[in-house]
């Protein structure tokens, strides 16, 4: 079998442009020429083309396909196993992204559209939840972490709305120049904590310093918000405990 680039493109239902690109990157290079000095594709090129298409359907990028086909003893069986793992990981990440989008849309349905800053804050908060849980578990018992950041899907909508409220309020407070110890900020913090199924004593255990609380916030929030939130919590702690002599 000897086919010119146009004939080969028709035979395998692709475009001349695609074949030219494959040749340019060294993926499929015709090794012969006919009497008219035209590059021609042989039977081995046909087999290689279909192998390339097979690997493409499995999600391999062209540069990796080229490397694999250049190996003298590549195994399709091993490739299948490897790519299955890659695709499962991609599917998991897609599912996580779709879940995040669903949660964001639920918040927007409940509260109206978010501005860009609010949207990014909330998306990052959801995206980093597992990292946040790991950090919190260094300082709180697992039962307390579950109250702060519930994994139960039935509890998540309420948590997301609370999270949105808190993030938006503190960002607005920073933007308009409120002080962390101001009455408005302290009142909002008290209202939010009243909605969390967690006692103040659990949140501020005597053996846990507020410096550690601030360390958690710095890991979870933008720097300006973490600093503001940390100062607000210090003020809240002083009002709740030092005022009572505890």
CB atoms within 10 A of CB 63: 11
Q: How far apart are CA 19 and CA 28, in angstroms?
A: 7
- Summarised one tens digit per residue, pLDDT across range 48-85 is 998 898 888 888 889 988 988 887 666 777 777 877 88
- Summarised one tens digit per residue, pLDDT across range 226-246 is 888 888 888 887 877 655 544
**Nearest to 19, CA basis, from 30, 35, 34, 32:** 30
CB atoms within 10 A of CB 195: 13
- Summarised one tens digit per residue, pLDDT across range 152-187 is 888 888 888 888 888 888 888 999 999 999 999 999
- Residue-range domain boundaries for the chain: 3-74, 99-244
For residues 193 and 200, the answer to whether their CB atoms sit within 8 Å is yes
Q: How far apart are CA 64 and CA 116, in angstroms?
A: 37
Token duo for residue 107: 């918040």
CATH of 3-74 given 1.10.1660.10, 1.10.40.50, 3.90.1720.10, 3.40.50.1820: 1.10.1660.10
């Amino acid at each position: 079998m000897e086919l010119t680039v146009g004939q080969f493109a028709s035979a395998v239902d692709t475009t001349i442009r695609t074949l030219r690109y494959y040749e340019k990157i060294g993926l499929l290079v015709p090794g012969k020429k006919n009497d008219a000095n035209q590059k021609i594709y042989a039977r081995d090129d046909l087999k290689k083309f279909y192998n390339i298409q097979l690997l493409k359907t499995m999600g391999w990028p062209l540069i990796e396909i080229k490397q694999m086909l250049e190996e003298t003893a590549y195994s399709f069986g091993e490739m299948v196993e490897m790519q299955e793992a890659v695709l499962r990981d991609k599917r998991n990440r897609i599912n996580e992204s779709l879940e995040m989008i669903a949660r964001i849309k639920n918040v927007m349905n409940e509260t109206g559209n978010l501005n860009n800053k609010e949207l990014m804050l909330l998306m990052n908060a959801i995206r980093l939840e597992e990292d946040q849980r790991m950090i919190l578990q260094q300082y709180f018992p697992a039962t307390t972490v579950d109250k702060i950041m519930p994994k139960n899907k039935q509890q998540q909508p309420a948590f997301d709305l609370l999270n949105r409220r808190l993030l938006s309020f503190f960002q607005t407070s920073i933007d308009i120049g409120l002080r962390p110890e101001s009455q408005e900020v302290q009142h909002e913090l008290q209202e939010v904590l009243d909605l969390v199924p967690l006692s103040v004593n659990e949140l501020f255990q005597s053996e846990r310093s507020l410096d550690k609380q601030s360390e958690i916030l710095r890991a979870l929030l933008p720097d300006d918000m973490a600093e503001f939130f940390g100062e607000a919590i210090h003020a809240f702690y002083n009002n709740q405990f030092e005022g009572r002599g505890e």
